[in-house]
Amino acid sequence: MSTTTMPSARPPSRLARLIPEPPVTCIEDLRRLAERRVPRMFYDYADSGSYTEGTYRANSQDFAQIKLRQRVAVNMEGRSLASTMVGQPVAMPVALAPTGLTGMQHADGEILAARAARRAGVPFTLSTMSICSIEDVAAEAGPGFWFQLYVMRDRDFIGRLIDRAERAGCSALVLTLDLQILGQRHKDIKNGLSTPPKPTIRNLVNLATKPRWCLAMLGTERRTFGNIVGHAKGVTDLSSLSAWTAEQFDPSLDWDDVRRIRDRWGGKLILKGILDVEDAERAAESGADALIVSNHGGRQLDGALSSIAALPEIAAAVGDRIEILFDGGIRSGQDVIKALALGAKGTFIGRAFLYGLGANGEAGVTQCLDIIRKELDTTMAMCGLRDVREVDGRIVARSPYRAEPRPAAPRPAAELRAVPMAEAARR
Ligand SMILES: Cc1cc2nc3c(=O)[nH]c(=O)nc-3n(C[C@H](O)[C@H](O)[C@H](O)COP(=O)(O)O)c2cc1C
């Protein structure tokens, strides 16, 4: 899919409003709708990567290089996508990735996405930097979701956050390791990203074209970082919040901190942001239950390998010691099955579900999960498999572009029959 930002969508003309929208058939349709409906600064916040966005683009584009083997005349009845991720049953091996500011793609976005995920039987992961708080999501969407932790300098706050996640019934902790310092996204600076948006002329003009978003946002109180305001020391309002976040991501985070968090958190622990085999070895030794091969959706080290390019080597090195999960660039069920084939036990989607949320709220996240489920199911069947747990490297086609010696042309059958046995033996 194209990852370049399209020019600002104009509001539809009166005639266009009379013509019904064509049905949504793929994630790209949801992206286009989200681009029309979400204020520019929040749409750009999702649809962007750091610096040149080279790694962001590679995450999606590298999937296209992997080709699948088409198998035929295999009984395709009774297929199953059910699997497990960190020992928990999932309806398909696809979880919603933690994404900050999700409640700005749509009012109460984290609650809506968590509900859609629960209905679809897949895990939802709440970001530390969410708009809806851990307690709000647990109350409105039910317990059992996963919580993602950023390590901050204020270790008391981190300890309390872990305790809050435990009390709210979170069933896994996703510890993000690849954001000790922040990669720069040019668009966020140019757009003056803030939450809620500052009432500048540019923002007000843009907001005037997003009536649906504005109306929904007026109907909620949740418009700032719900896990932080009122919980971190000295953070009571927006100005103290921005000062706090700017200096809180902890650059000193190391493997000793991982061990300390492992000891404090009683449940399943997933380490997120592993892209190198040496780090994967450390992760396997750390006592964590799983690692996520991830480059933060191309938002941190620009120039890093795409996640899918990094996956096979990591899976081969440590896949027998720690569960391998994966994210980065997934925009279809075909992408999911390719990640499974290259060694992942399960996958996460970030932007794909954010586009659904921005396009149509809770129903849009459901649309996104339905699209991915159907594509995954159909692709698995066409590869000749009926159980997603059987997917492995055998479904990947060898590169067809190799020079092979030309085989001898087949001889007509009649001519072959006419050759006497003794002569045929001499040939
Ligand atoms: C808008 C946005 C916000 C994100 N915020 C977080 C976050 O708060 N914590 C985190 O660990 N990862 C965060 N990520 C990274 C995602 O968890 C995930 O690694 C990435 O989105 C996967 O790539 P994909 O969007 O191509 O599926 C964010 C990604 C996006 C797009």
The reply to whether 124 falls in a domain is yes
Q: How large is the average pLDDT for residues 150-170?
A: 95
Ligand 1: nearest atom to the Cα of 127: 8
Task: Output the 3-class SS for the chain.
Answer: CCCCCCCCCCCCCHHHHHCCCCCCCCHHHHHHHHHHHCCHHHHHHHCCCCCCCHHHHHHHHHHHHCCECCCCCCCCCCCECCEEECCEEECCCEEECCCCCHHHHCCCHHHHHHHHHHHHCCCEEECCCCCCCHHHHHHHHCCCCEEEECCECCHHHHHHHHHHHHHCCCCEEEEECCCCCCCCCHHHHHHCCCCCCCCCHHHHHHHCCCHHHHHHHHCCCCCCCCCCCCCCCCCCCHHHHHHHHHHHECCCCCHHHHHHHHHHCCCEEEEEEECCHHHHHHHHHCCCCEEEECCHHHCCCCCCCCHHHHHHHHHHHHCCCCEEEEECCCCCHHHHHHHHHCCCCEEEECHHHHHHHHHHHHHHHHHHHHHHHHHHHHHHHHCCCCEHHHCCHHHECCCCCCCCCCCCCCCCHHHHHHCCHHHHHHC
Residue 272 Cβ contacting ligand 1 at under 6 Å: yes
pLDDT of residue 199: 81
Q: What is the pLDDT of residues 11-61, one digit of tens each?
A: 556 676 778 888 999 999 999 999 999 999 999 999 999 999 999 999 999
In short, whether 176's Cβ falls inside 6 Å of ligand 1 is: yes
| Centroid of ligand 1 to alpha carbon of 234 (angstroms) | 27
Would 136 be classed as within a structural domain? yes
Asked whether the predicted pLDDT for residue 1 surpasses 80, the reply is no
Q: Is the CB of 109 under 6 A from ligand 1?
A: no
183 occurs within a structural domain: yes
Domain ranges, residue 171 = 14-390
272, 174 contact by CB (below 8 A): yes
Residue 424 domain flag: no
Contact residues for 211 (Cβ-Cβ < 8 A; gap 6+): none
Q: How far apart are CA 151 and CA 41, in angstroms?
A: 26
In a domain, 218, yes or no: yes
How many separate domains does the chain show?
A: 1
Please name the residue whose Cα sits nearest to atom 19 of ligand 1: 296
Nearest ligand 1 atom to alpha carbon 46: 1
Residue numbers annotated as active site: 296
Dump pLDDT digits (tens) for 290-304. Answer: 999 999 999 999 999
Residue 5 has pLDDT above 50, yes or no: no
CA 56 to ligand 1: nearest atom = 26
Q: Residue 133 C-alpha to ligand 1 middle, in angstroms?
A: 18
When mean pLDDT is compared across 82-86, 190-194, 330-334, the lowest value belongs to 190-194
Higher pLDDT, 159 or 196: 159
Query: pTM of the entire structure?
Result: 0.91
Residue 400 belongs to a domain: no
* Residue 59 CA, closest ligand 1 atom number: 26
pLDDT band at 192 (very low <50, low <70, confident <90, very high): confident
Question: Tell me: the pLDDT tens digits for 241-282?
Answer: 767 777 888 899 999 999 999 999 989 999 999 999 999 999
CA of 297 to the centre of ligand 1 (A): 6
In this prediction, residue 245 carries a pLDDT of 77
Residue 334 lies in a domain: yes
- Going from the Cα of 14 to the center of ligand 1, the distance in angstroms, rounded, reads 37
- Is the C-beta atom of 98 inside 6 A of ligand 1? yes
**pLDDT tens profile 208-248:** 999 999 999 999 999 888 999 888 887 776 667 767 777 88
The confidence score (pLDDT) of residue 425 equals: 54
Instruction: Determine which residue's CA is closest to atom 5 belonging to ligand 1.
Output: 99
Nearest Cα to 104, choosing from 10, 226, 187, 243? Answer: 226
- Crossing angle of the two packed helices 333-341 and 307-318, in degrees rounded to 10: 30
Q: Is residue 350 domain-resident?
A: yes
Between CA 362 and CA 347 the distance in angstroms is 21
Q: Is 130 in the pocket of ligand 1 (CB under 6 A)?
A: no
What pLDDT is stored for residue 173 in this prediction?
98
pLDDT at 194: 76
| CATH classification of the domain holding 320 | 3.20.20.70
What is the 299 CA–ligand 1 centroid distance (Å)? 8
| Amino acid 200: pLDDT | 85
